[in-house]
């Protein structure tokens, strides 16, 4: 039996003649955070969407809880709810004419079959560090960091098993990034949530992930426990990503040696 709750097995994704993902195999275990790192064009976002059931591979398989997911059929509702995705731009994920409380309430109803009351909604918002005044606000009345928290609340309202987060903090300033990363870490521990955290920034991923997978031109070039990979990278591309980090305290000098 696999150690992973969600995994890709020899996954291939293409857009016409362009191959975005080539034979990638990786997985995330229960309550674990897997960081998927790579520059633009590495295939990391395509891989994240495939893991969430939003992208169809032409070969290989996505396996959830031991069951391969058919690329030709719509995912069962229970699986769709178990696998939730959070994107880079929270504003684009929210209806500008719908109050934030309503957006989260409708998500919660997808699992329970009924809309939650105001007290329950306030509890969901409190979970992500927002007070109940946000229930009545529209997206334009909240900051980017606050909207990202709302999107997290909406995803968590359906009680998922796995959260796939694609560049969820890259559009936020550094102080807000730290708040959202700390929130994700706390939620993982509290809810026993598995997280696939997709990012171009290996420094950000290091603070959250138990393991890191490095993608380059659609291929998995290195994977390992976070501290092992950061302090003793084996692949030149991983060393390049580490060398690009502006904070010199991220890694020991020996980690960048060829």
Residue 46 lies in a domain: yes
Inform me whether the pLDDT recorded for 176 exceeds 70.
yes
Rounded-to-integer distance, Cα 176 and Cα 137, Å: 20
Inform me whether the pLDDT recorded for 257 exceeds 50.
no
Q: Where are the beta strands (DSSP E) in 103-185?
A: 162-166
Average pLDDT of the residues in 213-236: 97
**pLDDT computed for residue 71 by the predictor:** 77
**In which residue are the tokens 């059931």 written?**
53
Inform me whether the pLDDT recorded for 226 exceeds 60.
yes
Inform me whether the pLDDT recorded for 251 exceeds 60.
no
pTM, rounded to two decimals: 0.91
Residue 1 lies in a domain: no
DSSP state of 247: -
How far from 157 is each of 79, 102, 111, 139, 188, CA to CA, in Å? Answer: 15, 12, 8, 18, 14
Inform me whether the pLDDT recorded for 213 exceeds 50.
yes
58: domain CATH number is: 3.40.50.300
Helix, strand, coil abundance in the chain, percent, nearest 5? 40, 25, 35
56 three-class SS: coil
Q: What is the pLDDT of residues 36-60, one digit of tens each?
A: 999 999 999 999 999 999 999 999 9
Residue 239 lies in a domain: yes
Q: What is the pLDDT of residues 57-80, one digit of tens each?
A: 999 999 999 999 987 778 889 999
**pLDDT computed for residue 171 by the predictor:** 77
Question: How would residue 252 be classed by pLDDT, with cut points 50, 70 and 90?
Answer: very low
Rounded-to-integer distance, Cα 217 and Cα 257, Å: 23
Range of the domain at 145: 6-256
224 three-class SS: strand
Average pLDDT of the residues in 85-110: 94
- Count of C-beta atoms within a 10 Å radius of residue 92: 11
Rounded-to-integer distance, Cα 45 and Cα 166, Å: 6
Residue 142 lies in a domain: yes
Question: How would residue 247 be classed by pLDDT, with cut points 50, 70 and 90?
Answer: low
- The number of residues in the chain equals 258
Q: What is the pLDDT of residues 4-29, one digit of tens each?
A: 999 999 999 999 989 999 999 999 99
Which of 5-19, 112-126, 191-205, 236-250 has the least mean pLDDT?
Answer: 236-250
Residue 110 lies in a domain: yes
Domain count, the chain: 1
CB 37 within 8 A of CB 214: yes
81 three-class SS: helix
Rounded-to-integer distance, Cα 258 and Cα 137, Å: 52
Residue 111 lies in a domain: yes
**pLDDT computed for residue 254 by the predictor:** 40
Nearest by Cα to 145 from 132, 134, 161, 156: 134
Residue 165 lies in a domain: yes
CB 24 within 8 A of CB 43: yes
Q: What is the pLDDT of residues 147-160, one digit of tens each?
A: 999 999 999 999 99
How far from 207 is each of 114, 179, 180, 250, CA to CA, in Å? Answer: 37, 12, 12, 10
């Amino acid at each position: 039996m696999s150690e992973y709750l969600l995994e890709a097995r020899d996954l291939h994704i293409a857009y016409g003649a362009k191959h975005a993902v080539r034979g990638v195999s990786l997985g995330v275990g229960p309550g674990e955070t897997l960081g998927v790192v790579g520059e633009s064009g590495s295939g990391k976002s395509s891989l994240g969407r495939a893991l969430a059931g939003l992208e169809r591979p032409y070969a290989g398989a996505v396996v959830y809880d031991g069951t391969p997911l058919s690329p030709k059929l719509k995912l069962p509702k229970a699986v769709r709810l178990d696998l939730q995705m959070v994107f880079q731009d929270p504003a684009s994920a929210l209806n500008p004419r719908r109050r934030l409380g309503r957006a989260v309430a409708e998500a919660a109803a997808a699992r329970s079959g009924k809309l939650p009351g105001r007290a329950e909604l306030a509890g969901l918002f409190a979970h992500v560090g927002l007070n109940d005044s946000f229930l009545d606000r529209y997206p334009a009345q909240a900051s980017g960091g606050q909207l990202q928290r709302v999107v997290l609340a909406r995803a968590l309202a359906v009680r998922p098993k796995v959260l796939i987060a694609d560049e969820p903090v890259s559009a936020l300033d550094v102080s807000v990034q730290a708040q959202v990363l700390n929130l994700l870490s706390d939620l993982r521990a509290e809810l026993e949530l598995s997280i696939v955290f997709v990012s171009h920034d290996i420094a950000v991923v290091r603070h959250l992930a138990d393991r890191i997978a490095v993608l380059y031109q659609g291929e998995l070039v290195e994977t390992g426990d976070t501290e092992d990979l950061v302090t003793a990278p084996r692949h030149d591309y991983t060393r390049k990503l580490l060398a690009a980090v502006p904070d010199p305290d991220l890694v020991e000098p020996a980690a960048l040696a060829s």
